[in-house]
Homo-oligomer: A and B are copies of this chain.
Amino acid sequence: MPTFVQVLDFIGTFAFAISGIRLASAKRFDWFGAYVVGLVTAIGGGTIRDLLLDVTPAWMIDPIYLICTALALLWVIIFGRSLIRLNNTFFIFDTIGLALFTVVGAGKSLALGYPFWVAIIMGSITGAAGGVIRDVFINEIPLIFRKEIYAMACVAGGVAYWLCDIVGIESYICQLVGGTVVFLTRILAVKYHICLPILKGNDEQENN
């Protein structure tokens, strides 16, 4: 029987893979390209984290991530046209994935003895770096740098995790609070169109 966290992990991976595969299909990638972009979106962040932490990436131990991405590709091939109606469902799944990936990434860094500010960065990399590689592969400026509260939700969740830990709350409750903050920050930011200020003051650079 898979645990509750494993089920969330599967849902998150599936949603991340779908997001990569859909953007790949908009660029007319073939099936293989779409699979690779979906896979990289799902596991890219965790892989960079594991390279930095000097541990073996999770997908090299357990093939579940490769299988999950294959199922996501199959889903898009079969149900492609009707995916639009599920947009809100995928948004929720994607945000669940973001929250879980952040908490898992931060927890893994803490377990390896790194200080909390490293754990917050690793949580954000786990949640957001896959999307950055995806956008580099489809030759777009990474979305998270311009438009949405996305990685900032990871940072907020990481800080909440940290504060709970300082106060002395038990580890699994800290994680729950951290994940919830990621989830709510992202949901509320999208619902109320909250975004970070654009950096100005140097537009002249563009004429270079």
Contacts and interface: CB of A to CB of B under 8 A. Distances in A.
Residue from A24, A66, A141 with most neighbouring chain B CB atoms (10 Å): A141
A42 interface: no
Nearest to A56: B54
A132 interface: yes
A22 interface: yes
Given A25-B205, A142-B137, A145-B37, A30 B76 contact: no
Chain copies in the assembled complex:
3
A141 B27 contact: yes
Interface in A179-208: 195-206, 208
A66 B117 CA distance: 10
Contacts of A145: 24, 29-30, 32-34, 36-37, 137
A83 interface: yes
Decide if the interface of chain A is mainly helix, strand, loop or mixed.
Answer: helix
Interface residue tally on A, bucketed by range: 35 or more
A27 B51 CA distance: 30
B138 A199 contact: no
Contacts of A121: 66
A11 interface: no
